[in-house]
């Protein structure tokens, strides 16, 4: 009986991994990495290195976050996910949850943490 339970647990795990992987595939059939998602959706405001100096940053009323700033690096992953998913009130940062999947947002946040590791 334990062998059957182990087999079922393995199957459920494999299905979960496959679903997560499928969610990160782009329309062109390539896996969309955090860097690709960041460059497509974030860099115009936050800049290539996450310093808030993207090509559209100067045209915004409120400057985009500099991910290297101590107050941003001190945020939890959950706080960053909430900002990316739902936006930040009174700023041009809009929510991405209607355009990106949870997994894509997490991939982008992983890349941001590579650019500017938490404190």
pLDDT of residue 29: 46
**103 touches 23 (CB < 8 A):** yes
Half-sphere exposure of 57 (CA within 13 A, CB side): 17
pLDDT of residue 19: 52
Describe the crossing of helices 102-115 and 34-41 by its angle, rounded to 10 degrees.
90
Phi-psi region of 29 (alpha: psi -120 to 50; beta: other; left: phi over 0): left
Percent of the chain with pLDDT over 90: 71
Whole-model pTM over 0.85: no
pLDDT of residue 30: 47
Buried b (16+ CB within 10 A) or exposed e, 28-40: eeeebebbbbbee
pLDDT of residue 40: 96
Residue ranges of the chain with per-residue pLDDT less than 70: 1-3, 6-31
């Amino acid at each position: 009986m334990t062998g059957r339970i182990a087999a079922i647990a393995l199957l459920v795990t494999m299905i979960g991994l496959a679903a997560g992987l499928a969610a990160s595939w782009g329309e062109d059939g390539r896996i969309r990495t955090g860097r690709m998602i960041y460059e497509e959706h974030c860099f115009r405001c936050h800049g290539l290195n996450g310093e808030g100096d993207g090509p559209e940053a100067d045209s915004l009323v409120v400057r985009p976050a500099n991910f290297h700033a101590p107050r941003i690096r001190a945020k939890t992953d959950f706080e960053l996910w909430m900002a990316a998913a739902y936006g930040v009130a009174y700023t041009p940062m809009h929510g991405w949850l209607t355009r990106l999947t949870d997994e894509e947002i997490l991939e982008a946040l992983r890349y941001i943490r590579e650019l500017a590791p938490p404190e």
